[in-house]
């Protein structure tokens, strides 16, 4: 239902208030019967009382050309009245590609009120941020009579309040924030953290550039960063500061103020502690790789030789002890492999080299490769009915790793004498692999975190073989790197089915 309104332009007392604008934004249409003064041959001189007040108003005819403009608008923009009369009204707005003009014409052409925040281009070229409502005034038969555009300049108290709010938010940040004028290189804003870091007072901001800060030695890095912002709108960089004593992260973004000025927002953060933690992590991985895996491999090899009788037959008790030691060595090596795998595939630089993979061959090879493992646990792997000719784009080694994890997990929860089914099919443009066990099912308390790191099943059969709790997390990461999805369905006491879906060829 349309709201009725009586709006007489001559009766506007001075400036249009924010409340008035808000009220107008809720209206749907205005007709000449609503009380808006009709135009007269003198160029809408009947509206002159409002035009001579403080309202930023433009009145345009059905052709979109300006018929009258208020003194307040002329004063704010620097135009002379004769420069604007006859001009297409929308040309005053910063409107790349004419999108705004088309939107205004479409809305007002349907007799509806348009509202927005266009930037008005002043006579000297600078942009004024405004809040604008354009009211279409219609003839009784629905034809356009004129448009009345009411503007509220986003300056003064409102802009000050907004700037204060933004500054307060920046001042709570524990990193240095700078706003730079790219045209002059002078600083327009620094948050409290940046001022304290530089030892400056608030009054020094407008007289300083980034070259005056403690980051002057990194001028080339910051200059390169600003060039990235000019071309891409944003940029980031890592650099050493204070002669290598600190590692800093810089992020920069192109911003435009509400008054139309271009600025660069620069955030500088000391990440020395994070960088040290990253170095420590890499050193730990190096220790795991070289100081643990190598001797463990030798120990496991020696134990296997003992089990095979390389130094003579072992007593039953000695053989049992050697078997326990060999199994624990294998478990430790598996944990190391999982940790290194998780590290490798978790890197942003990790890349998948995909190629066409025949899922029927993949299933067949996986069953054969795990036959011995299944025999050791007293379970068997069978093909549950793989469809021929299903191909996906994937990395064969990584996809085989996914199946290996799923099959070994299924074997661990399956009672001796049980079977694990694996098969592949084509479904809705995807190649899908299923792995089904008939174990106890996944406990309800683990289902939501099953793919998280170090999550282990509490099923009774798991006591036979222990894992790292990383396998399914690795599987999920690999599948997602392959642009696929992994899910599962489970029922207590009846088993679990994992489903891996990959885009098919």
Query: Which CATH superfamily, name and number, covers 9-154?
Result: PAS domain (3.30.450.20)
Cβ contact 248:267 at 8 Å: no
Cβ contact 50:70 at 8 Å: yes
**For residue 168, what pLDDT is reported?**
83
| DSSP designation for 33 | G
Tokens 């809720």 -> residue = 26
Mean pLDDT throughout 476-492?
A: 91
Tokens 């059969």 -> residue = 461
User: Sorting pLDDT into bands at 50, 70 and 90, what band is 33?
Assistant: very low
Tokens 């304290």 -> residue = 196
Q: Which fold is adopted by the domain 355-503?
A: Heat Shock Protein 90 (3.30.565)
**For residue 161, what pLDDT is reported?**
63
Q: State the maximum Cα–Cα separation within the chain, in Å, rounded to a whole number.
A: 120
CATH of domain 158-270: 3.30.450.20
Mean pLDDT throughout 185-192?
A: 90
Mean pLDDT throughout 148-161?
A: 69
Contacts (Cβ under 8 Å, ≥6 apart) of 53: 12, 13, 14, 15, 70, 71, 72
Least confident of 8-17, 57-66, 263-272: 8-17
Cβ contact 2:28 at 8 Å: yes
For the ranges 80-94, 121-135, 290-304, 442-456, the maximum mean pLDDT occurs at 80-94
Cα separation, 62 vs 48, whole angstroms: 19
**341, 346, 350, 355 alpha-carbon torsion, rounded to 10°:** 70
Q: Does residue 485 carry a pLDDT above 90?
A: yes
**For residue 424, what pLDDT is reported?**
95
Percent of the chain residues topping a pLDDT of 70: 81
Of 131, 101, 97, nearest to 16 (Cα)? 131
End-to-end Cα spacing for the chain: 54
pLDDT digits (tens, 9 = 90+) for 76-125: 899 999 999 999 998 999 876 778 888 888 888 887 888 887 888 899 88
Cβ contact 73:56 at 8 Å: yes
Greater confidence (169 vs 89) lies with 89
| DSSP designation for 216 | G
Task: Bin 203: left if φ > 0, else alpha if -120 < ψ < 50, else beta.
Answer: alpha
User: Sorting pLDDT into bands at 50, 70 and 90, what band is 176?
Assistant: very high
Mean pLDDT throughout 144-151?
A: 87
Cα separation, 259 vs 130, whole angstroms: 8
Strands 380-383 and 419-427, sheet pairing: parallel
Of 122, 114, 113, nearest to 259 (Cα)? 122
Mean pLDDT throughout 259-286?
A: 84
Least confident of 43-47, 172-176, 375-379: 43-47
**For residue 136, what pLDDT is reported?**
86
For the ranges 21-30, 220-229, 322-331, the maximum mean pLDDT occurs at 220-229
Mean pLDDT throughout 486-501?
A: 94
Q: Does residue 443 carry a pLDDT above 50?
A: yes
Which structure tokens are listed for 384?
């549950």
Average pLDDT, rounded, for the chain? 80
| DSSP designation for 66 | E
Q: Does residue 67 carry a pLDDT above 90?
A: yes
Cα separation, 24 vs 99, whole angstroms: 23
Q: How many residues does the chain have?
A: 505
């Amino acid at each position: 239902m349309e709201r009725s309104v009586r709006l007489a332009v001559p009766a506007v007392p001075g400036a249009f208030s924010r409340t008035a604008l808000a009220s107008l934004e809720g209206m749907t249409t205005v007709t000449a019967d609503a009380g808006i003064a009709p135009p007269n041959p003198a160029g809408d001189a009947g509206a002159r009382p409002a035009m001579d007040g403080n309202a930023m108003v433009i009145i345009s005819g059905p052709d979109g050309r300006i018929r009258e403009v208020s003194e307040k608008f002329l004063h704010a923009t620097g135009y002379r009245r004769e420069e604007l009369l006859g001009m297409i009204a929308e040309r005053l707005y910063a409107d790349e590609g004419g999108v705004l003009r088309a939107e205004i014409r479409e809305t007002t052409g349907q007799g509806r009120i348009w509202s927005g925040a266009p930037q008005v281009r002043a006579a000297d070229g600078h942009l004024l941020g405004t809040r604008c409502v354009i009211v279409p005034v219609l003839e009784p038969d629905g034809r356009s009579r004129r448009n009345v555009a009411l503007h509220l300049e986003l300056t003064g108290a409102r802009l000050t309040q907004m700037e204060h709010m933004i500054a307060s938010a920046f001042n709570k940040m524990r990193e240095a924030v700078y706003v730079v004028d790219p045209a002059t290189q002078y600083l327009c804003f620094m948050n409290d953290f940046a001022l304290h870091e530089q030892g400056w007072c608030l009054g020094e901001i407008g007289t300083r550039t980034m070259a005056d800060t403690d980051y002057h030695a990194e001028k080339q890095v910051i200059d390169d960063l600003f060039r990235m912002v000019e071309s891409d709108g944003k940029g980031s960089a890592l650099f050493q500061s204070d002669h290598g004593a600190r590692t800093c992260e810089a992020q920069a973004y192109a911003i435009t103020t509400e008054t139309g000025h271009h600025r660069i927002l620069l955030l500088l953060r000391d990440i020395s502690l994070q960088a040290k933690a990253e170095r420590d992590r890499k050193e730990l991985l190096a220790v795991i790789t070289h100081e643990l895996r190598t001797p463990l491999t030798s120990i496991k090899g020696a134990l296997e030789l003992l089990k095979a009788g390389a130094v003579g037959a072992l007593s039953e008790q000695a053989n049992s002890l050697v078997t326990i030691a060999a199994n624990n060595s294998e478990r430790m090596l598996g944990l190391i492999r999982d940790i290194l795998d998780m590290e490798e595939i978790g890197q942003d630089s990790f890349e998948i080299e995909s190629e066409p993979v025949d899922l029927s061959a993949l299933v067949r090879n996986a069953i054969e490769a795990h036959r011995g493992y299944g025999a050791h646990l007293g379970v068997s792997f069978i093909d549950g009915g793989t469809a021929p000719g299903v191909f996906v784009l994937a990395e064969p080694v990584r996809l085989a790793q996914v199946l290996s994890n799923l099959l070994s997990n299924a074997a661990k929860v399956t009672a001796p004498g049980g079977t694990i089914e694996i098969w592949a099919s084509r479904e809705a443009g995807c190649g899908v692999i299923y792995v089904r066990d008939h174990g106890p099912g996944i406990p309800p308390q683990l289902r939501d975190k099953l793919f998280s790191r170090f999550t282990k099943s509490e099923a009774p059969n798991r006591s036979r073989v222990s894992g790292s709790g990383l396998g399914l997390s690795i599987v999920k990461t690999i599948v997602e790197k392959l642009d696929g999805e992994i899910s599962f369905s489970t029922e207590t006491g009846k088993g679990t089915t994992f489903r891996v879906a990959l885009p098919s060829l």
